[in-house]
Amino acid sequence: MPKLSPTMEEGQVSRWLKQEGDKVSMGEPLAEIDTDKATMEMQALSAGVLRKILIKEGESAPLGQPIAIIGEPNEDISALIEQAKSSATTAAKAETPKPAEEPQPAAPEPAPLETAPSSDGRRASGGRTLVSPIAARMAAEAGINLTSVQGSGPGGRIIKRDIEEAMSAKAQPAKAPAFRPIAPTPGARGQVYGPSAYRDEPVSEMRRTIARRLVTSLGPVPHFFLTSEIDMERAADMRRSLNELYPDAKISINDVIIKVTAAALMQHPQVNASFQDKTIRLYEHADIGVAVATENGLITPIVRAAEAKSLFDIASEVRELAERARARKLKPEEYTGASFSISNLGMFGIDEFTAVINPPEGAILAVGAMTAKPVARDAQVVVRQTMRVTMSCDHRVIDGAIGAQFLQTFKQILENPLYLFLSA
């Protein structure tokens, strides 16, 4: 398993591009590997024949563990296979958690009219349909009937690639089901239920990395939080006017927030900084990480030098980065090394929240929904578009007064967005 990204510690084989017995050339794509942030092509390091695949699609391996053997057609590889098995066993023992004090109670058998999925995602329905957990989840989200999908995995197993092909072949998107009251599941009157049946889905490399990084953030990094409410009336008017003049621009409120954040960071360089153990690193440009939700977790593609780019450039770049982030096609340099991050949950109707800092960055801005509410203006109550933002600060880098001054500047620019054009 090669190191395909700077933060990668292990990889998950998404798809083998070659099969056992195929000839391969040095540098030829051999497999697609899911790293912690993206899907990358792994290239063959030598020429020959792919004699043995040691790690199946959907399985993970730490860096350096053998995942396949390339050799000559008649070469004896038995010793290599045994060596690889020994390496895999050692790695598995190192990751095996200690047994729980009490054994996990056995899951109850399903009722006669039900079928229960097994731990590997299989479901019995007359015959057996084999499906990987991630493929099952993707099919459920896309409204795809698994019985209509032909599996291309081992033993006819339905894998991620099969669902992606089925999704692209659908002529019409699945319609949301009409609302209906939730009825109780039919069952025998007075039936006593034991612990719920369950199935375990493998954790993606991205989700595992998120878990590791968050553990090293909220505990070791001394967070404090600053919240401000902003009058968004003028910013909303500016955005609407720009999109009327340039319909193809499709500027969003989040694009405006990115540009304003970059402008404020240039005025407060102490916030555009990170803690480096013995030094505090001050960045010359505002490299803004923009949180994007994907099926495997959160990733933050970066708008580099956002202070030097126009709103139109930022809007176009963010759309392109988000599309490639969801397709897991980002390059490592496109999602590592931000100087400041923005997480916007306003589109989900969240009014206010706090975000966890992504080390070694010094701060992250949590953006809530823009909503109309009554406010006092010139001794009168009027309805205005308002938005609440909360900045999480690393107290090792940013003091309370510095963070407050940054938010004050951020608020002033958003409430008077013509400043962006005067300072350009």
pLDDT digits (tens, 9 = 90+) for 62-78: 888 999 999 998 889 88
Give the list of residues 6+ apart from residue 178 with CB closer than 8 angstroms, or none: none
Q: Where are the domains of the chain?
A: 10-93, 123-169, 222-422
Among 103-112, 357-366, 373-382, the range scoring the smallest mean pLDDT is 103-112
Supply the pLDDT for residue 113: 44
The pLDDT tens digits for 262-274 are 999 999 999 999 8
Highest mean pLDDT among 153-162, 193-202, 314-323: 314-323
Supply the pLDDT for residue 198: 60
Supply the pLDDT for residue 164: 79
The pLDDT tens digits for 137-149 are 677 667 777 777 8
Does 222-422 carry CATH code 3.30.559.10? yes
285 is catalytic: no
pLDDT at 240 over 90: yes
| Confidence category of residue 101, pLDDT binned at 50, 70, 90 | very low
**Torsional sign, CA 283, 286, 287, 292:** positive
Average pLDDT score over residue span 276-296: 87
Supply the pLDDT for residue 180: 53
Number of neighbours of residue 199 by Cβ within 10 angstroms: 15
Number of neighbours of residue 364 by Cβ within 10 angstroms: 25
CA distance 155 to 121: 14
Supply the pLDDT for residue 420: 85
In contact, 159 and 58? CB cutoff 8 Å = yes
CATH topology of domain 123-169: Dihydrolipoamide Transferase (4.10.320)
Averaged confidence pLDDT in the chain: 80
Give the list of residues 6+ apart from residue 418 with CB closer than 8 angstroms, or none: 238
Supply the pLDDT for residue 141: 65
DSSP assignment string, 172-208: SPPPPPPP-PPPPPP--TTPPP-SPP--PPPPPHHHH
Supply the pLDDT for residue 86: 80
Supply the pLDDT for residue 124: 38
Supply the pLDDT for residue 117: 37
Examine domains 10-93 and 222-422 and report if their fold is the same: no
Among 260-274, 305-319, 371-385, the range scoring the smallest mean pLDDT is 371-385
CA distance 28 to 26: 6
pLDDT above 70 as % of the chain: 75
pLDDT at 409 over 70: yes
Full-model pTM = 0.58
- For the domain spanning 10-93, the CATH number is 2.40.50.100
| Confidence category of residue 111, pLDDT binned at 50, 70, 90 | very low
CA distance 181 to 378: 48
pLDDT at 119 over 50: no
